[in-house]
Chains A and B, each alone.
Chain A
Amino acid sequence: MHGFDHEHLESISGFLGQYYLALALMNAVAAFYVWHKAQRVWLAGFWAVVSTGYVMLSPLAFGGNGSWWMPTLGTRIEHFVNDMTGPVVYSLGIVCSLSTLFVFRRFFVRPVVAWTGLNLMLLVMGLSMADAAFASIVTKADNVPIVGLIYLLCFFTWLAASRAVENDDRMSRGLPPREKDDNEKVLVWPDLVYTEMICMIVLTAGLIVWAIVLEAPLEEPGSTVKTPNPSKAPWYFLGLQEMLVYFDPWYAGIVLPLTAVGGLMAIPYLDFNKQGNGYYTIEQRKFSYITFQFGFIIIWITLIVLGTFLRGPNWNFFGPFETWDAHKARALSNINVSDWFWRDVMQTSLPKAPSGTGKITELAYIAQREWLGLLTVLGYFMLLPPLMATTVFRKFFVRMGFVRYMIMSNLLLMMATLPIKMVLRWTMNLKYIVYIPEYFLNF
């Protein structure tokens, strides 16, 4: 964005003023809680100071029209973020930051650290909202659930991790996990049914309020010759839509989703680890934990967020503070493995069956043309499992047996095809490893 849009600032200033007030209240409550319950005066004082800071931000935001005093991230930071974010930085950055969170989880699950992180997230969110491009995407009725999803996901991941860390500590001291300590049985009625009923009522009320406050994002009548630009799937399918960018429809739209569902159903039969039943733990189930978090947070949620906030017209990648320009020039010529091999390495044209030959000859020519890609794919799925069985997954292979190990390793490899292909596309403009358009078989 170039400077700040005054019209936008006026329209958003009221909301932002209240937003900062709400943050101040949130921190005041936290300070009171820390002082009253935990008796930690210094910490309470710190949160009180933070709360005061938000109170001071609020009138500035309410003022709104003068960009001097408006709390913003600043144009320079926004430009920097825009320039920095590309698909590679975004995805690899998330992988790296999540790995950091995982490795240093003992530090990050501490309530003080988590509360600081929440404050930072909310503050950056508020500062970014002063930007017209960012606000227009985030406040779109379609996208509000995704914003909520990010915060909810952070909270629940933190909750599970903090419980798991606590249990791991207890178990390392020889104590049973916390869940075993208070395993008093409760009755379905009233304990469970009452909870469910209250949840139901609260959820219904929330949905009604939501439906009234946020207007349904209705668009013009559909037409076969006009596709909205950008044309986005419902938010929960945005991960799938992003997958479709990198693969042929039969693979990303049919094989991968079905494999994901089937693989999830197979988990109980593949899992041989008897530990971690009925309580949170990471230490005892490291492989399961990492695999799940990778598959869910990285491959599914990250792609939804990417599709929601960072994909603009013509499915181009846009930075979070970038205006969605439908004519953003982005020259990209994707090449296939066969093109690369025959044209660039061998310096010849692609082998092509002379016209008028039979099916068998044609197939032979196709095989010759695509031999490198075919071998790569076959090797990936046939050589890697035995290789992994003798190296990293040796224990797994011994405990699982041949069939279960092969199923598990192939599921893992299929899951890994997605990030591998994405990175190859972004870094090397790779289009298809195997390219057989004659039979709609591209991989």
Chain B
Amino acid sequence: MADKKKMSVADMLAAARKADGGGGGEKSAEKPADADAPAAPESVSPKASAAEEQPTKKSAASGERPSVADMLKMARGQGGGEKPAAEKSKPTAKSTAKPAAKAKPAAKATAKPGAGAPKDTASILAAARKTEKPGPMSKADAAARSDKQGAGKAGPAKQKAAKAKLTVPPMPTKPDYAKGKPGAKSKPGAKGKPGTKGRPARAKAGTEDRRGVMSLMFGSALGVGFTMLGATHVLWGLATTRFMFPNVLVEPPSRVKVGFPADFPQGQVVTKFKAQFGIWVVKGEYDGLQQIYALKTVCTHLGCTPNWLDAEQKFKCPCHGSGFYADGINFEGPAPRPLERYAIKISEDGQLEVDKSKVFMQEKGEWNDPASFVSV
């Protein structure tokens, strides 16, 4: 059995091919499996023990051709691999004391002469797939299939085989690394400091526990993980705090000096403060009074910035076509109300000073407020 453990993949596939020849030729496989599961294996190889037949029978009992997984399992079983099916076969093979492995290929080879030449892997895989009907399965199909499987499981052959296999395989001897752990665990637990008694992080065999907090933090994967998580949270919190204080001047100056009243030409809209301060300064007439006032350069419709069209003497918004006269009154387009005024006054040095912190709305009658204009 020792040499079988080193079975290569090629060998496995070869064994699988043989199994295919024995377990079911391409088309004849389903018939014996369905008709009478117990009869087929006996007639095929009366000498072989139940254990040898086990993989074949298993697949036959389920009413299907052996799947690829089954085949590989079977191949491993011959090779004495770690799969449970293989382990099961081992003791029975021993108990019957027959040269099982040798007998099997022979039996398989003689089993189905009609199956002919060994097939290549592709055809085996194709055949294995073919048994599974492709595409969606109706409820009736599913029911029929499960019935078949149920019947196969309840069949006498399966029961017999199960009884024969009931012998429990011996547990493998524990490897050294597995033995060492419980001993190491109990020892330092007894010797170590009281606070850290019995901690699984203390798994290192034979080491004295002198590290306290450090071992608590880094002693296990869980400790490392939570430490990293905590550190990340702290950094994230710091970054968020920093984010709350951006590198910008929070408030631009709201008071702007725009020059002396005498410098403004009569009846004209001065647009040179628009780009920097967002205001138009106008020396014009409103309500029959000559005034200087500062208009906010924001359209009252949806907040775009209109342009002053000197030829047409109007403010025109490029977004939806609202139009305003030089005094800020809306007359075309969708803007619902006039432009807004900023507070304006003459400062101590005689210059005009616009205060952008206060706005005056015409529709509320605020343009009569003396803070909203400078009389000339």
Q: Which residues of A contact B (CB under 8 A)?
A: 187, 223-231, 241, 244-249, 253, 313-316, 327, 329, 331-334, 355, 432, 435, 437-438, 440, 442
Q: Which of B301, B321, B332 gathers most chain A CB within 10 Å?
A: B321
Known: A249-B334, A315-B320, A432-B336. 4 other contacts (CB 8 A): A227-B307, A315-B333, A438-B364, A440-B336
What are 19 A-B pairs with beta-carbon distances under 8 A?
A: A225-B274, A227-B306, A227-B317, A229-B318, A230-B319, A231-B304, A231-B318, A241-B319, A249-B301, A253-B302, A314-B317, A315-B333, A316-B321, A327-B311, A333-B331, A334-B331, A334-B332, A432-B336, A437-B336
Known contacts: A247-B334, A329-B312. The answer to whether A228 contacts B302 by CB under 8 A is no
CB distance from A244 to the nearest CB of B (A): 5
Q: Are B319 and A231 in contact (CB under 8 A)?
A: yes
- Classify the interface of chain B: helix, strand, loop or mixed: loop
Residue in A closest to B333 when the chains form the complex, CB atoms: A245
Q: Is the CB of A227 within 8 A of B334?
A: no
User: Which A residues are CB-close (under 8 A) to B323?
Assistant: 332
The answer to whether B312 and A327 have CB atoms under 8 Å apart is yes
Q: Is the CB of A442 within 8 A of B336?
A: yes
B320 and A227: CB pair below 8 A? no
B331 A227 Cβ-Cβ under 8 A: no
Taking the complex as formed, is B99 at the interface, i.e. its CB lies under 8 A from any CB of chain A?
no
Give the complex CA separation of A442 and B317 in angstroms. Answer: 19
A226 touches which of B275, B302, B337 (Cβ 8 Å): B275
Residues of B within 8 A of A (CB): 135-136, 274-276, 278, 297, 301-302, 304-307, 309, 311-312, 316-321, 323, 331-334, 336-337, 363-365
* Cβ-defined contact, B274 with A248, below 8 A: no
**Residues of chain A within 8 A of B274, CB atoms compared:** 225
Separation in Å of the A211 CB from the closest CB of chain B?
28
Closest 9 CB pairs of A and B: A315-B321, A229-B318, A227-B305, A227-B304, A332-B332, A314-B316, A231-B318, A437-B363, A231-B319
Q: Is the CB of B320 within 8 A of A225?
A: no
Residues in A whose Cβ lies below 8 Å from that of B363: 437-438
Roughly how many angstroms separate A331 CA and B337 CA in the complex, as a whole number? 19
A250, closest chain B residue (CB): B336
User: Provided the pairs A225-B275, A315-B319, A329-B312 are in contact, do residues A248 and B307 lie with their beta carbons within 8 angstroms?
Assistant: no
Tell me which residues across on chain A come within 8 A of B331, comparing CB atoms: 333-334
Question: A316: which B residues are within 8 A, CB to CB?
Answer: 321
Question: CB < 8 Å: which of A225, A247, A315 contacts B297?
Answer: A225
Residue of A nearest to B304 (CB): A227
B337 to A, closest residue via Cβ: A437
Is A334 within 8 A of B318, CB to CB?
Answer: no
* Bound CA–CA A224/B312 (angstroms): 24
- Does B336 lie within 8 Å of A224, measured CB to CB? no
Given contacts A187-B135, A225-B275, A333-B332, contact A244 B320 (CB under 8 A): yes
CA distance in complex: A247, B301 (Å): 10
Q: Considering only CB atoms, which chain B residue lies closest to A355 in the complex?
A: B365
Given contacts A226-B275, A226-B305, contact A241 B320 (CB under 8 A): yes
- Asked if A244 contacts B334 (CB within 8 A), the reply is yes
Known: A187-B135, A327-B312, A332-B323. A244 touches B336 (CB 8 A): no
For A226, list chain B residues within 8 Å (CB): 275, 305
- Docked Cα-Cα span, A440 to B334, in Å, equals 13
Contact A327 B309 (CB under 8 A): yes
Q: How near does chain A come to B281, taking the closest CB pair, in angstroms?
A: 14
Chain B nearest CB from A243 CB (Å) reads 10
Q: How far is the CA of A205 from the CA of B276 in the complex (A)?
A: 46
| Contact status A245-B320, CB under 8 Å | yes
Question: Cβ of B316: which chain A residues have Cβ within 8 Å of it?
Answer: 314
Q: Which residues of A contact B337 (CB under 8 A)?
A: 437
A224 and B278 form a contact (CB under 8 A): yes
List chain B residues, Cβ under 8 A from A432. 336
Residues from chain A with Cβ under 8 Å of B320 in the complex: 241, 244-245, 315
CB distance from B315 to the nearest CB of A (A): 10
Residues from chain B with Cβ under 8 Å of A223 in the complex: 275
